Amino acid sequence: MRMGEGVEWGLHCCLTLAWLGDEHPVPTARLAAWFDLPPAYLTKRLQALVRAGVLTSTPGAKGGFRLGRAPERITLMDVVAAIEGTEEAFRCTEIRQRTEGAAAAGGDFRHACGVATAMRRAELAWRRELAAQTVADLMAAAPAGAAERTRRHYARG
Amino acid sequence: MRMGEGVEWGLHCCLTLAWLGDEHPVPTARLAAWFDLPPAYLTKRLQALVRAGVLTSTPGAKGGFRLGRAPERITLMDVVAAIEGTEEAFRCTEIRQRTEGAAAAGGDFRHACGVATAMRRAELAWRRELAAQTVADLMAAAPAGAAERTRRHYARG
DNA sequence: GTGGCAGTACTCGGATAACCTTTGTCCGAGTCTAAACGG
DNA sequence: CCGTTTAGACTCGGACAAAGGTTATCCGAGTACTGCCAC
């Protein structure tokens, strides 16, 4: 099982945007250069965050991205869901119902598949943990100088 | 993020093998026909479970697979780890250290990346939940007739 | 000075290509069971 | 009747092909800011 690296990009970008405040929007090219990422592809990922309302984009000259709402109200779940989608990692294909002559034998399939519910329970715990953490928490956990260093770099122009 | 369907196959196969007991080993072709799955590919997945000790295989005529230990001692985490691997879904590529002139600016990277630890915490919750459930629990949760129906089918052949 | 106009910079969205992972197939080698065969 | 041989069935392991998803790039269209020009 693998999570795309877009999630890492998205989280770090949110963190950066949170530190910079939303006085001036930050263009994609700036963020891409800062993290050394492919600009065009990063744009695609940030656009996904815009669609989810996590970020807002302002077009035109001096445009760019800024946070869509306060860092305390952006959970990691929001970012992951926006970029990776809301589908569950485990997809039950109901192979129990494909068993030979299942219909004829009158199997009882009114109950949900036990395997699926077990996996879903685990995934729920994961989602709950993601929803419990916000971008503001990330800001608080970072070492003291990080925010300052970021701001200095972006102020330089 | 997506989990391979091999996990679903593996869990259902473990459940079936648990119901049948380990008097007679069950060949791959039998399981594949029962669930309507590609036999050769299913073998690959079951072999992964053998390597992890979840199943044991007996070669030769009348050979096949049986559980490697009691159903109470096989957790869902064991099956998932055997088939999907033990790598974490979120892989931190340390993009914070790629920031322009990070080394020169004397950034403090002794601490672990906050984004990575946050994601890891969520994944830990997921793993803990998987480790808390066993194949025996799946057996108990299944509707009453399921075990019986499975045994009848395998006795016939 | 003020209003309109063109130019520039940027985002948006889709089309497209390269790459990697997953999915699926196939075959030879090794191994065990069971039946056939010979003494 | 008993030991040996042979055939069959199955697993094992790796090599290989196909499919789908992720990663990445590019370009045209739309939009907002900026500077220029005319009045």
Q: What are the boundaries of each domain within chain A?
A: 5-155
Measure the CA–CA gap between B43 and B13, rounded to whole angstroms: 11
User: Can you read off the two tokens belonging to residue B59?
Assistant: 């070669």
B91 reaches A (C-beta below 8 A): yes
| A60: CB partners within 8 A, 6+ apart | none
Q: In the 8-state DSSP scheme, what is residue B121?
A: H
Q: Which positions in chain A touch B95 (Cβ < 8 Å)?
A: 8-9, 12, 35-37
User: Can you read off the two tokens belonging to residue A76?
Assistant: 């990691």
Measure the CA–CA gap between B108 and A97, rounded to whole angstroms: 55
Q: In the 8-state DSSP scheme, what is residue A112?
A: P
A95 reaches B (C-beta below 8 A): yes
Nucleotide nearest to B37 (CA to C1'): C24
Task: Summarize pLDDT for B102-144 with one digit per residue, the tens.
Answer: 666 666 677 889 999 999 999 999 999 999 999 999 999 999 8
CA of residue B84 to C1' of nucleotide C20, angstroms: 16
Instruction: For the full predicted model, state whether its pTM sits above 0.75.
Output: yes
Containing A78, the helix (H) or strand (E) segment is helix A76-84
Give the model's pLDDT for residue A61: 83
Task: Summarize pLDDT for B5-22 with one digit per residue, the tens.
Answer: 999 999 999 999 999 988
Architecture per CATH, domain B5-155, reads as: Orthogonal Bundle (1.10)
